[in-house]
Chains A and B, each alone.
Chain A
Amino acid sequence: MTATSRNIGSTLLDVRNITLRFGGVKALTDISLAVREHEICSIIGPNGAGKSSMLNVINGVYHPQEGQITYRGVPRRRMKAHEAARQGIARTFQNIALFKGMSVLDNLMTGRNLMMKTSFIQQALRWGAAEREELEHREKVERIIDFLEIQSVRKTPVGRLPYGLQKRVELGRALAAEPSLLLLDEPMAGMNLEEKEDMCRFVLDVNDEFGTTIVLIEHDMGVVMDISDHVVVLDYGKKIGDGAPGEVRNNPEVIAAYLGTSH
């Protein structure tokens, strides 16, 4: 399967000249990148390069001091994370950020909260609309549970699940929101080979079946080169490479950053 066969569309997310500072420390310096609809874009780079900061900027957790983000052609003002969610951006976290006291099912249902319209009074009475809504969304969530093959643990509190499954549930929670842009922060970190293969399969299937655009951070170069349409390389908060996997692999600056050879 090649990139061209999946009819990659026009630019979905356009990040221009982003600079992010924490006090005196520059986490990101003048970064621009574009993600096109339906593609899988990987952000790579050594630890501390600013990859997670980049995702945090995209979904509104951090607010850059300079630069402009355009999503679906609409320039964005300073916004809160929940507003980004409303625009269809979902994500997973590097250190799993599941709701530990809740079951797998409830975690996934939380992903659909945005789409639930009944008021809390209707929910308290659980009359008509509220119950119908709950059932509708339960069905959607069950489809994701089937897709991720986690049926057997749906009622288990997530805190009790092994690490690999937790990562899967977190992906499920993001998917439940039916995002148009999915940000994955090291979805395969700490997994064994088999779990990685499963996760790769899920990412590719999501991209393929739901047409979701994906931006992911990953350290495993084999995985990155295999599944990405487009790779962005960061180092010390600066962008040092951007292009198709093949191009990036041969970029001397990227090789230097990874192998530490002198310029």
Chain B
Amino acid sequence: MIYRESGQFKTSYRADQAIFPIPQDRYALFALLAFAFIAVPLGANDYWLGSILIPFLILSLAALGLNILTGYCGQLSLGSAAFMAVGAYAAYNFQLRLPELPLLLDFLLAGLVAAAVGIVFGVPSLRIKGFYLAVATLAAQFFIEWALTKFGWFSNHSASGVISPQPMTILGYTLTTQADKYLLVLGIVSVLALLAKNLVRSATGRAWMAVRDMDVAAEVIGIRILHTKLLAFAVSSFYCGVAGALWAFAYLGTVDAQAFDLNRSFQILFMVIIGGVGSILGSFLGAAFIVLLPILLNLLGHLFGGAVRQDVLSNLELITFGALIIFFLIVEPHGLARLWQITKEKLRLWPFPH
């Protein structure tokens, strides 16, 4: 099918404001979802499901959360992993202490707890901006990591603060296989991504972007700055919190606070930069890139007959990541999402570009 919109005329604002105004985009998305929900769980092996797709989806969700805060509302955060940790520990405690609650409600509540913590750490954003705020979010990172390890209550007094959630059960059905877990994660991530997309193209999203682009003008047009920023912190932390809960429940099964350290925060930030700042799609592209890159490097290492030592390889990985970040910032500051958009623009005109 040729990607072309000639002959498609929108006759109402409703049609023009649809989530995917071009029919080809809609069909492509349906096809992708059908593939992800039906073909993948049938066809993929456990390694792909459990070690690549599940972490990819969860990290996409976290990147989406950070993108809402940083990409849309312009507040740089270096503490996303801490909010993941809050979500993980909160979900664990809800499951442990209120076993009668259904699992999905645990996740929802965990997200809300993370949102509340996010609001607390977002309050300084009214008075401090830019780098000062970025540094301030490190306070969240270190304080939360410390608190979760230090106070045994959070981990039910397990040794060194490790939590191991019970198996996940939904409506009496226990999720055991990787395919089950994958479907759960995919379902949650799809719904939350849809909600995020709706949010950023509504009045709320416009308020976020207005604050990002020019806060004085935003206030003059009637936007309450603090309210807007705190909402961004809350929604962003909610997403990170749910991602953290899934990280503990669906991916690792056993985690401690160190799984959500500063390096994780950086990893999520890199996904946003590489994928595309201020783009929902970019969050997914960035996550895919960052998850796949080490695997690719490893494969390359094997291609050289395993001659490359492991520590050399991990240092090469560090260098590659760093260099890629710089490369993207220089060449395409809007990331993979922008490249995708450019490709689409070209396709719209192809094969008659003039």
Which residues of A pack against B, CB within 8 Å? 59, 61, 80-82, 84-86, 90-91, 93, 97-102, 106, 109-114, 116, 118, 120, 123-126, 130-131, 134-135, 138-139, 142, 173-174, 177
Contact = CB atoms under 8 A, between A and B. Distances in A.
A142 B203 contact: no
A226 B207 CA distance: 38
Interface in B184-208: 195-196, 198-199, 202-204, 206-207
B138 to A, nearest CB: 26
B4 interface: no
Contacts of A86: 222
A232 B42 CA distance: 77
Given A61-B216, A99-B210, A135-B17, A120 B199 contact: yes
A110 B219 contact: no
Nearest to B192: A124
Nearest to A137: B203
Contacts of B219: 61, 80-82, 85
Contacts of B348: none
B209 interface: yes
Given A61-B220, A173-B221, A106 B13 contact: no
B231 interface: yes
B128 interface: no
B14 to A, nearest CB: 6
B264 interface: no
A124 B196 CA distance: 7
B198 A126 contact: yes
B224 interface: yes
Contacts of B235: 120
Contacts of A126: 198, 202
B209 A123 contact: no
Given A59-B220, A123-B204, A131-B14, 18 more contacts: A90-B220, A90-B221, A97-B216, A98-B213, A99-B212, A99-B214, A99-B218, A101-B212, A110-B206, A110-B207, A110-B223, A111-B221, A112-B203, A124-B195, A124-B204, A134-B203, A138-B13, A138-B17
A113 B214 contact: no
Contact of A82 (B17, B204, B223): B223
B231 A106 contact: no
B17 A110 contact: no
Contacts of B224: 82
B277 to A, nearest CB: 10
A174 B221 CA distance: 7
Interface string B143-175: 000000000000000000000000000000000
30 contacts: A59-B220, A81-B216, A82-B223, A82-B225, A84-B220, A85-B220, A90-B220, A97-B217, A98-B213, A98-B217, A99-B209, A99-B213, A101-B209, A101-B212, A109-B203, A111-B221, A113-B210, A120-B199, A120-B202, A120-B231, A120-B235, A123-B203, A124-B196, A124-B198, A124-B204, A125-B195, A126-B202, A134-B202, A135-B17, A138-B13
Contact of A110 (B14, B218, B278): B218
Contacts of B207: 110, 113
A130 B195 CA distance: 13
Contacts of A130: 202
Contacts of B202: 120, 123-124, 126, 130, 134
Nearest to A126: B198
Contacts of B14: 131, 135
B214 A98 contact: yes
Nearest to B199: A124
A177 B222 contact: yes
Contacts of B218: 99, 110
A217 B217 CA distance: 18
Contacts of A84: 220
Nearest to B204: A120
Contacts of B225: 82
Given A102-B209, A134-B17, A138-B17, A85 B199 contact: no
A177 B218 CA distance: 12
B115 to A, nearest CB: 12
Contacts of B206: 102, 106, 109-110, 113
Given A120-B231, A125-B198, A135-B13, A99 B222 contact: no
Contacts of B223: 82, 110, 113
Nearest to B278: A101
A142 B13 CA distance: 10
Contacts of A135: 13-14, 17
A112 B206 CA distance: 10
Contacts of B199: 120, 123-124
Contacts of B214: 97-100
A97 B235 CA distance: 27
Contacts of B13: 135, 138-139, 142
B229 to A, nearest CB: 13
Nearest to A135: B13
Contacts of B196: 124
